[in-house]
Amino acid sequence: MNRICLADDDDGLVHFLARALEKTGDRVVTFRDGPTALQAISAEPFDLIILDYKMPGLNGLETLREIRTLQVKTPVIIITAYGTTETTIEAMKLGAYDFLQKPFETEELRRVVADGLRLNRLMKEVVNFPTAAPGPSGPRGEARIVGSSRKMQEVFKLIGQVADKDVTILVTGESGTGKELVARAIYHHSRRRDRPFLAVNCAAIPESLFESELFGYERG
């Protein structure tokens, strides 16, 4: 039987979610605030952790940060009715497995929970969660992406997952879909945010000059 930690200060929602998840045979242990949940997580193992963003004592992201400090690798799902671009990206940077914005369908929650439990079973020994990156969450001059749809939430999750990685990232999409905004969001949440961001309009560079403009020119 899987043991699920559920922390939310809404008694009605806790009761509803616990009943919905227990119907699949899981055991749900509930808490009403972040510190109490954190104390239990540090003392006993769970197979999945669900945290509400708005909680007394410690909010969901603060609790998640403390969980990672404890080196607990259990998948964490953040749920909230106050989802913003910053909240979603920060949650994924801290290593949240998923981020669900209220209201959500019961079947959607069950699907995400089932996927998280499967990950915990199959990759328990090898899953690595990114640690929190210091610094302000909203630097001055940051290009903000506006949107609260499910599709945009997926974009925010991806930004949070890749921003701290030292890898080359290819952003594709049709003209006008916001590729540069995504690139700037990744930059502002990366470890290179204190360095210059250079945007190059490749379409404006003649093909004959493209290589020298990007990589320099050496006479001869």
Do the domain assignments include residue 173?
A: yes
> Given a cut of 50, is residue 124 above it in pLDDT?
no
> Given a cut of 60, is residue 125 above it in pLDDT?
no
> Given a cut of 90, is residue 81 above it in pLDDT?
no
User: In the structure, what pLDDT confidence band is assigned to residue 122 with cuts at 50, 70 and 90?
Assistant: low
Do the domain assignments include residue 145?
A: no
Computed from CA positions of residues 194, 65, 78, 75, in that sequence, does the dihedral angle turn out positive or negative? positive
For residue 171, give the CATH number of its domain.
Answer: 3.40.50.300
Looking at the structure, do residues 93 and 200 belong to the same domain, yes or no?
no
> Given a cut of 90, is residue 27 above it in pLDDT?
yes
Do the domain assignments include residue 73?
A: yes
Which of 123, 140, 173 represents a domain boundary (last residue)? 123
Looking at the structure, do residues 89 and 181 belong to the same domain, yes or no?
no
Q: What are the strands, taking DSSP E only, across 24-120? A: 27-31, 48-52, 76-80, 98-101
User: Residue 93: its pLDDT value, please?
Assistant: 86
Mean pLDDT of the chain: 82
The amino acid occupying position 162 is: V
Number of domains in the chain: 2
Do the domain assignments include residue 141?
A: no
Q: Which residue segment(s) compose the domain that 47 sits in?
A: 3-123
The amino acid occupying position 120 is: N
Looking at the structure, do residues 154 and 119 belong to the same domain, yes or no?
no
Looking at the structure, do residues 115 and 17 belong to the same domain, yes or no?
yes
Do the domain assignments include residue 144?
A: no
User: Residue 138: its pLDDT value, please?
Assistant: 44
Looking at the structure, do residues 116 and 189 belong to the same domain, yes or no?
no
DSSP state of 147: -
Which of 123, 158, 174 represents a domain boundary (last residue)? 123
> Given a cut of 50, is residue 129 above it in pLDDT?
no
> Given a cut of 70, is residue 68 above it in pLDDT?
yes
pTM here is 0.63
The mean pLDDT of 79-91, rounded to a whole number, is: 84
User: Residue 157: its pLDDT value, please?
Assistant: 76
> Given a cut of 50, is residue 173 above it in pLDDT?
yes
Looking at the structure, do residues 172 and 117 belong to the same domain, yes or no?
no
97 and 119 Cβ atoms separated by less than 8 Å: yes
User: Residue 205: its pLDDT value, please?
Assistant: 77
The mean pLDDT of 106-126, rounded to a whole number, is: 78
> Which tops the pLDDT comparison, 128 or 84?
84
For residue 48, give the CATH number of its domain.
Answer: 3.40.50.2300
Lowest mean pLDDT among 93-102, 103-112, 119-128, 186-195: 119-128
Looking at the structure, do residues 28 and 105 belong to the same domain, yes or no?
yes
> Which tops the pLDDT comparison, 132 or 203?
203
Do the domain assignments include residue 220?
A: no
Looking at the structure, do residues 154 and 111 belong to the same domain, yes or no?
no
Q: How far apart are CA 130 and CA 10, in angstroms?
A: 29
